[in-house]
Copies of this chain bind each other. A is one copy, B any other.
Amino acid sequence: MARGRVSLSTGTSKGLVLDLIRTLGPISRTDLAAETGLTAATMSTVVRQLLDEGLIHEAGLGRPNGGRPVVLLEVDTSARYAVGVQLGGESITYVVVNLRGAVVGRLRAPGVGASEPGAMITALVEQIHLILLGLGIDEQLVVGIGVVAPGPVDVARGMVFGPAHMEAWQNVPLRDLIAEATGLPVVFDNDATAAALGDFWGGATEGARAHATVYMGLGLGAGVLIDGTVFRGASSNTAELGHITVGADASGRRLIAEDVADPTAVVRAAREHPDEVARLALSGDDFAQFTALAKASTRGDEFATGLLEASARHLATAVTSLANLFDLDSITLAGPAFAIAGSIYLRVIDSQVNAEFFARSRHGIRVRLSPQMQDAAAVGAATLVLQSELAPRTMGLAGPSD
């Protein structure tokens, strides 16, 4: 029943200011004041605190403009680090990012298989220690660990949910176990949400008020940010793009995106043409086959291109619905599938969305590839913890009349 803290005056602005310094590069106190709406005096004290904590430092003077020259501020890149862990079906990706959200270390390791939970956690924590040791990063400087997994997750309890291909991780209170084993704050979320936040921290969304990152691995997901804040519905399982209706088959049965758009669906469609499968020598798991199809398409193969374009059109339909419902002004594509076949999807989605988007007369939608395709979710996991520890924001900024 209780609606949580109202907590209006909880040092949000320190985090916000750090956020702005990070995104807007070297910037003066005066510009920060203008940007936030705070007064110069307040900005002075906020900046002082950030300086004292060592999170930012002064970086020379701006060009003279007739009066006292401005002092530029920038984040102290190596003042803090965060670890991101992306749990996948067959592999686990670890990244370490610095305060700018830049990757300073990455590792892809095989999944831990079906060993029992305690051992899995121990191995995972061990791995993190080793990576930090290898990078020579003092663990005192690590603000926390972000862990993300595909599909529906239980953010509140910090554990994997869905019926995905990840039985090993289910019903394990991941977040709490890792937090206990490391003594560090751990945040847990789904991969698409993390990727969206990663793109935001990476600067790919600058200026956007309503942004979505479409994340495609083997499955399909999306994360939505409003004014840089993660949009969460009733249970943090928002933007379930895979379940959006995108058309109907010949018999009139409705088709949802995950039936026809994700890599699994593309490979399934290919298999209905055994001669082509043989010609292209498709083999291996779904993702290997999808990769082969994408390469064939790049070489000009018409069959492969046809399949991918069909997938892209269906995905574009789902994304158009997403854009219309959330009134988006920015979209990025991220994840392994787009790392392989991003250009074709980008072209199709960009043109269809901007042609059919309802509010296009008022504002366009920027559609782009994520700056960090392959590791977007892991990087996002790390930025998730950076944000929650250093720049918490549970609410948006501007109101309707803005």
Which residues does A use to contact B, with CB under 8 Å?
1-9, 12-13, 16, 34-38, 152, 154-156, 161, 189, 208-210, 226-227, 230-241, 243-248, 252, 254, 317-318, 320-322, 324-329, 356, 358-359, 362-363, 394-402
Contact = CB atoms under 8 A, between A and B. Distances in A.
A171 to B, nearest CB: 14
A133 B216 CA distance: 61
A325 B235 CA distance: 12
Given A237-B362, A327-B235, A12 B8 contact: yes
5 contacts: A2-B35, A2-B37, A232-B400, A233-B328, A245-B247
A34 B3 CA distance: 9
A58 to B, nearest CB: 23
A180 to B, nearest CB: 17
Given A208-B234, A243-B356, A245-B321, 17 more contacts: A3-B397, A3-B398, A3-B402, A6-B12, A6-B37, A6-B38, A8-B8, A156-B400, A156-B401, A226-B233, A233-B329, A234-B329, A235-B363, A237-B327, A245-B317, A246-B254, A247-B254
A208 B234 CA distance: 8
B325 A326 contact: yes
B399 A4 contact: yes
Q: Report the copy number of this chain in the oligomer.
A: 2
Nearest to A24: B1
A358 B240 contact: yes
Contacts of A395: 395-397
Which residue, A1, A240, A322, has most C-beta atoms of chain B within 10 A? A240
Which residue, A155, A210, A244, A321, has most C-beta atoms of chain B within 10 A? A321
A211 to B, nearest CB: 9
Contact of A237 (B6, B235, B356, B358): B358
B254 A233 contact: no
A275 to B, nearest CB: 24
Contacts of A246: 245, 254
B402 A4 contact: yes
B402 A398 contact: no
Contacts of A318: 245
Contact of A326 (B12, B238, B320): B238
Nearest to A227: B3
Nearest to A42: B6
A362 B235 contact: yes
